[in-house]
Amino acid sequence: MVNMGVIGCGHWGPNHIRIFNQLPNSNSLMCADLDENRLKAIQQLYPNIQAVKDYQEILNNPQIDGVCIAAPTKSHYEIAKAALLKNKHVLCEKPLAVTVAECEDLKKIAEQQKRVLLVGHVFVFNATIAWVKDYIDSGDMGNIFYAYATRVNLGPFRYDVNALWDLAPHDISIFNYFFNNCPVNVSARGHKVLGGRLEDLSFATLEYPNNIVANLHVSWLDPRKVRQITIVGDKKMLVWDDLDSECPVKIYDKHVEKTDTFYETYGEFQLLSKVGSIMIPKINLNEPLKAQAQYFIECMSKDNPPSKADAQKAADVVKTLIAIQKSMDAKGECVNL
Ligand SMILES: NC(=O)c1ccc[n+]([C@@H]2O[C@H](COP(=O)([O-])OP(=O)(O)OC[C@H]3O[C@@H](n4cnc5c(N)ncnc54)[C@H](O)[C@@H]3O)[C@@H](O)[C@H]2O)c1
């Protein structure tokens, strides 16, 4: 039985508390938040949980094996470092930190302390995303030409980080997972529409090795909630829709062929569209946050450092976010990673 302490009980932390209570081999023993109203709300839901204001009380409790950090992004580094140094295993929400140096420092400390450091890149634990990854790797889609992700909604708004740092870690971690790499360069535009201090929306183009181009659109200011990714290969095309629980993945047997005859006037190939059926694979859906928690517990109990969503992959995501931010600040300039 693994005893967990959850630090940060705002919008997202309670989901971690619920999951560590639901799993048969873990328990949410303690939680911490600076806001007493949040602590009262958690205690009403979970009367047995010990709720404290200062997270150091969690770190000083020898009964606690691991902590889950769901506090604001800018506090991740400080809390994760303190927890690892107190010999706690750490599951930290995304993004792991705000600089690559901080991510690398946490990676080093976790290795030195022989503690698990897992990062909440929850989509790599999503069964439909894992299915798409296997499908890309099977070669059925052929070579990938390009992909694009849309992650937009009206809110929820954040006041600590902009829409890029809030939403894009998900799509960057998915693209890096699909293409086994981080981008080589990025160019992006962002816009401060609402408060004027933070970008509420961003359009970013990421160039990956093997000539793959990926685009992402994140926004807090959109009429519809959309979580979609489209991938175009030279043999097949695929659409993933996280909000379509019945058909989250659709594979389109569509591609373009070149004829062996040339246009007489232009000396160019003629391009022909080939259109076949649409396939909807049967995928057993899971609760990704639960799968992530299970993986964390498994790594802890087997004394295995994670191979998914580890500190290095989190550092790659942060490196990409920093490059996109730099490009947005320079109004779309291409930034190499
Ligand atoms: N994986 C996902 O899909 C997902 C979804 C939402 C949020 N998140 C991540 O979770 C984290 C929290 O997001 P949120 O939406 O819950 O934010 P939030 O602002 O709603 O909650 C953060 C809570 O942390 C508390 N807090 C701040 N500093 C603290 C400290 N030093 N000690 C203890 N508590 C402290 C605040 O009082 C607040 O209640 C962020 O990193 C965010 O990116 C991930």
pLDDT, tens only, 122-157: 999 999 999 999 999 999 999 999 999 999 999 999
In a domain, 27, yes or no: yes
Structure tokens at 94: 């995304």
Question: Domain check: are 330 and 190 in the same one?
Answer: yes
Question: Domain check: are 50 and 168 in the same one?
Answer: no
Q: Which of 128, 197, 191 is nearest to 331 (CA)?
A: 191
Residue with tokens 């806001």: 35
Specify the CATH number for the domain of residue 70: 3.40.50.720
Q: Check residue 195 and give its pLDDT.
A: 82
Cβ of 14 below 6 Å from ligand 1 = no
Q: Check residue 265 and give its pLDDT.
A: 60
Mean pLDDT of 201-210: 98
Cβ of 38 below 6 Å from ligand 1 = yes
Alpha-carbon span 22 to 212, nearest angstrom: 41
From atom 18 of ligand 1, which residue's Cα is the shortest distance away?
A: 10
Rounded to the nearest angstrom, the distance between the alpha carbon of 180 and the centre of ligand 1 is 29
Structure tokens at 240: 């993933």
Question: Domain check: are 130 and 271 in the same one?
Answer: yes
Question: Domain check: are 164 and 256 in the same one?
Answer: yes
In a domain, 276, yes or no: yes
Cβ of 171 below 6 Å from ligand 1 = no
From atom 6 of ligand 1, which residue's Cα is the shortest distance away?
A: 12
Mean pLDDT of 309-318: 98
Question: Domain check: are 138 and 90 in the same one?
Answer: no
In a domain, 111, yes or no: yes
Specify the CATH number for the domain of residue 163: 3.30.360.10
The number of the ligand 1 atom at minimal distance from the alpha carbon of 8 is 24
pLDDT, tens only, 209-266: 999 999 999 999 999 999 999 999 999 999 999 999 999 999 999 999 987 766 566 6
The number of the ligand 1 atom at minimal distance from the alpha carbon of 79 is 31
pLDDT, tens only, 154-194: 999 999 999 999 999 999 999 999 999 999 999 999 999 99
Cβ of 72 below 6 Å from ligand 1 = yes
Rounded to the nearest angstrom, the distance between the alpha carbon of 162 and the centre of ligand 1 is 14
In a domain, 96, yes or no: yes
Question: Domain check: are 136 and 200 in the same one?
Answer: yes
Order of strands, sheet of 221-233, starting from the edge strand that comes earlier in the sequence: 269-279, 249-262, 237-241, 221-233, 144-154, 212-219, 201-208, 185-191, 335-336
Mean pLDDT of 317-335: 98
In a domain, 43, yes or no: yes
Cβ of 93 below 6 Å from ligand 1 = yes
In a domain, 243, yes or no: yes
Question: Domain check: are 166 and 102 in the same one?
Answer: no
In a domain, 315, yes or no: no
With the most atoms of ligand 1 within 8 angstroms of its CB, the residue from 7, 18, 34, 318 to mutate is: 34
Rounded to the nearest angstrom, the distance between the alpha carbon of 69 and the centre of ligand 1 is 8
Structure tokens at 294: 């299970």
Question: Domain check: are 207 and 257 in the same one?
Answer: yes
Question: Domain check: are 136 and 269 in the same one?
Answer: yes
Question: Domain check: are 115 and 148 in the same one?
Answer: no
**Is the pLDDT assigned to residue 109 strictly greater than 80?**
yes
Rounded to the nearest angstrom, the distance between the alpha carbon of 54 and the centre of ligand 1 is 15
Domain coverage including residue 98: 2-121+288-307
Alpha-carbon span 168 to 183, nearest angstrom: 14
Coil, helix or strand at residue 277: strand
pLDDT, tens only, 20-45: 999 999 999 999 999 999 999 999 99
Question: Domain check: are 229 and 293 in the same one?
Answer: no
**Is the pLDDT assigned to residue 267 strictly greater than 80?**
no
Number of domains, the chain? 2
In a domain, 296, yes or no: yes
Question: Domain check: are 144 and 235 in the same one?
Answer: yes
